[in-house]
Amino acid sequence: MQPDGRVERPEGGTPQGGLVSPVLANIYLHHVLDIWFEKRVKPNLKGEALLVRYADDFVCAFRYREDAERFYRTLPKRLGKFGLELSPEKTQLMRFSRFHPSGKRRISFLGFELNWGRDRQKRPRLHRRTAKKKLVQAVKAMGEWIKQFRHLPHKDFPDYP
């Protein structure tokens, strides 16, 4: 329903950012990706592997490069069977290890940037910080909110969403 009272029926899919979208993604990808990864992919690997998924975002980690490359080639075919595709700008194969720090390379996942560094005792440590893109979006949204309500007396100020 639109603010003016008109009802618009979507042509397909679920609304981006809606409550139903992540729930449906979890249900669908549990069968398409999670179970397949555990039952078909992992038993055929030379080393260990891990899949971390939240709704439709996921990161896979492999002990051996050959395993990662084989999975990277197979994944588009698997998703294609179910009418899904990978986002080219969010998909990459990279070395990310505490034993081979990759310098300035970072992984962005769920609004965070992850990279290897060292703690005060010089031991390898995974560092996490808010992704710059997400931080800029939040600051911009707050600035818009301030512009919209700065003329109101304090008692009439709405809560920040």
**How many angstroms separate the Cα of 27 from the Cα of each of 20, 22, 31, 35, 143?**
11, 9, 7, 11, 37
For the chain, the average pLDDT equals: 82
How far is Cα 145 from Cα 50, in angstroms, rounded to an integer?
Answer: 41
Select the more confidently predicted residue: 18 or 58. Answer: 58
Segments making up each domain of the chain, as ranges: 15-93
Query: Token pair of 107, please?
Result: 């992984």
Round to whole Å and give the CA distance between 16 and 28.
16
Q: How far apart are CA 58 and CA 52, in angstroms?
A: 5
Per-residue confidence (pLDDT) for residue 101, from 0 to 100: 57
**What is the per-residue pLDDT for 19?**
63
Residue 70: pLDDT band (50, 70, 90) is: very high
Q: Which DSSP symbol is given to 32?
A: I
> What integer pLDDT is reported at residue 119 of this predicted model?
86
73 pLDDT band (50/70/90 cuts)?
Answer: very high
Of 31-40, 124-133, 149-158, the range with the lowest mean pLDDT is: 149-158
Q: Give pTM, 2 decimals.
A: 0.66
Strands of the chain (E only): list them: 49-54, 57-62, 107-109, 112-118, 124-130
Question: Does the pLDDT of residue 139 top 90, yes or no?
Answer: no
CB contact at 8 A, 35 and 26: no
Q: What is the pLDDT of residues 21-66, one digit of tens each?
A: 778 888 899 999 999 999 999 999 999 999 999 888 898 989 999 9
Query: pLDDT at position 30, please?
Result: 93
Supply the pLDDT for residue 71. 94
Residue 145: per-residue pLDDT: 82
Average pLDDT over residues 70-89: 92
